[in-house]
Structure formats: structure tokens, C-alpha cells
Amino acid sequence: ADDDATAGARRRNAQLTKPPGALGRLEELAIWYAGWRGSDSPAIDAPQIVVFAGNHGVCAQGVSAFPPEVTVQMVANFEHGGAAINQLAKTFGATMHVHALELDRPTADFTQSPAMSEAEFIAALRTGWGAVNPAADLLVPGEMGIGNTTVAAAVGAALFGGIGADWVGRGTGVDDAGLANKARVVDAGLARHASREPLEVLRCLGGRELAAMAGAIAAARAHRIPVILDGFICTAAAAVLEKTRAGALDHCVAGHLSAEGAHGRMLDSLDKVPLLSLGLCLGEGSGGAAAIGVLKAAVACHSGMATFAEAGVSDG
């Protein structure tokens, strides 16, 4: 972040027509955003949502309540404007792009072999990197991929420690037996792949849409584009970057706390406090997109409000 812009934004914030701190977390959000954009009174005019879709070999282990063909069906739904994320993009004036990542060629079942070869992994990272519009001023990465809460749980367990049961959740709606099966599958993946090097974890236990989100989040950093993280799967992908280099997610804020059980613990480990807590667990970037309004509100107040001097208001 730009220290001059951060300091300038902090000075501006102190002069706005409100009691000190009365806008609560909106004040810190606006200052953070200003620092990354390099302007002490920035605007959010061009938010971009990018949804990556992938399929997962581990679905052969019966980890999802939905069949894998739903991934490609939902991609069509995104393209026709019928999904939740389309409505959220419209509500908050964001552009939306969808990248389907070789859906007819799922990753390998991670209980048997690495999910991706090195070439496949790098291709997915690159797709994510290239999907970010350098002219965007806010990025919300999202995903779709039947089976990917199991994948994210495996990545979470490998990065942060613990066993499958600590990290799996109901996903799109598995029952108790399904939950136990997910835990077993994650444990099998953890046993199969010994490396805990973060990028190797992502390659062996992750999926193409997770790798693409990591690539997109890294690209946003390079372009100084602040990011709103979505839920459990997005956060697991992002955590790979933070575990690779501390501070790698300083340009990211957590959009929401997912109903997927382990998300809160993962956010705590990353020292991220979610903007919203509304029980969403849809993916697609929906929780991140729902939080665009909060960040827009913060930045609009910061950059649009009059100072005490401008408004002729006594400052106490």
C-alpha cells in the first residue's frame, strides 16, 4: 500500500463532519482502500467479479449432494444471467466474467494421485492471473465446482493442521453419513500427499478453480486492486498465498462469514474479520459481492463528505 495515500486518507478522515470514529469500521476500510489505490480520496467505479469453475475427481468418492454435471449447468446459468452472482453484480454495478476450466477433464481424485500435474496447475494459475482486468478498482473472485468444499477442507487441513473432521462441513447439503465420508476422504488425501509446502498443497489437494482464484488474487496485488474475499473455498485458495508469504493478503478484506463451519477458524488464522455474517454458503463469489455495498458505502462517505471547515460545523 501507498504510505502517503494512507496518511493523507487518515488526515482527511479526521476532518470529516462526524464525531471521531462514528463511522466505525467504515473509516478503516476507506483508509485501507485509499492506501491500495494510492489516492487519499478514491472512488469505486469499476468493480469486477470473476467466477472460475472446475470439476473434481474426488467426486468419485461421493462427497457432494449434487451430481458433477451441475458445474457445467451452472456455468450456463452464469452466462445467461440467472444465478445469484449475476443479480449481485447488477445490484452493485460490477462487471462479471466466467471462466470454465476444462470442465470435461476433472482433476484427478486426490485420494489416488495429485489433483493436478504441474503443467495443469500452472495453466490454472495463469488463467486466474489473466482474468483480472488491470483497470478494475475492486476484485471479487468466485467459484463454482461440485465437490469443492471437500477440496477446500483438504487444503485448509494441510495448511493449518488438523484432520478432516476439523475442516469439512455440510457444503451444499450432505447428511451426517456424507459429512463423515468427506472427513474420511480428506484424511485419505492428507495421508497420500506428504508435502505441506503451500503451492504443492494447492496442486495436490486443490482444484483448478482454487488455483485460478489464487492467481487472480496475486494479480490484483500486482495491479493494486483491493480484493473482497468470498467464503470457505475462496479463503482456502487465498490462504495458500498468505502461507507462501506473510502479508500477501494485505490487499484483501473478508467479505463474509460463511455458514460452512470451518470458515470462521480459517479467517481467524488469517486475522481477517468478515464484513458480513448472514449465513450464506453458496459460493460463486456471492458473499464477497454482497459486501461490495459496504465497501462502496465506506469509500463514498470518505471521499464525498464535507470537512468541518467546508461545512461550517463546530467540531466539539
The pattern of x and - marking residues 271 through 290 that bind a second copy according to CB under 8 A reads ----xxxxxxxx---x--xx
Amino acid type, 312: G
Question: Is 310 a binder of a second copy (CB under 8 A)?
Answer: yes
Q: Which of residues 77-136 bind a second copy (CB under 8 A)?
A: 77, 80-84, 86-88, 90-92
Question: Is 15 a binder of a second copy (CB under 8 A)?
Answer: no
Tell me the window of 131-139, 176-184, 263-271, 295-303 that interacts with a second copy (CB under 8 A).
Answer: 295-303
Question: Is 180 a binder of a second copy (CB under 8 A)?
Answer: no
Largest CA distance in the chain: 70
Strand partners, 53: 100, 144
Q: How far is the CB of 261 from a second copy (least distance, A)?
A: 14
What's the CA gap between 129 and 89, in Å, rounded?
A: 21
Q: Are 232 and 266 in contact (CB under 8 A)?
A: yes
Q: How far is the CB of 96 from a second copy (least distance, A)?
A: 13
What's the CA gap between 270 and 267, in Å, rounded?
A: 5
The strand order across the sheet containing 227-229 reads 95-100, 47-53, 138-144, 227-229, 252-254
What's the CA gap between 33 and 297, in Å, rounded?
A: 12
Question: Is 19 a binder of a second copy (CB under 8 A)?
Answer: yes
Q: How far is the CB of 314 from a second copy (least distance, A)?
A: 5
Active site residue 102: no
Instruction: Spell out where 26-92 has E strands.
Output: 47-53
What's the CA gap between 70 and 274, in Å, rounded?
A: 29
| Active-site residue identified among 120, 143, 209, 284 | 284
Question: Is 183 a binder of a second copy (CB under 8 A)?
Answer: no
| Residue closest to 62 by CA, chosen among 155, 159, 175 | 175
In the complex with a second copy, which residue's Cβ is closer, 171 or 189? 171
Provide the annotated active-site residues. Answer: 284
Q: Tell me which residues touch a second copy (CB under 8 A).
A: 16-26, 65-67, 69-70, 73-74, 76-77, 80-84, 86-88, 90-92, 172-173, 259, 275-282, 286, 289-290, 292-294, 296-297, 300-301, 303-306, 310-314, 316
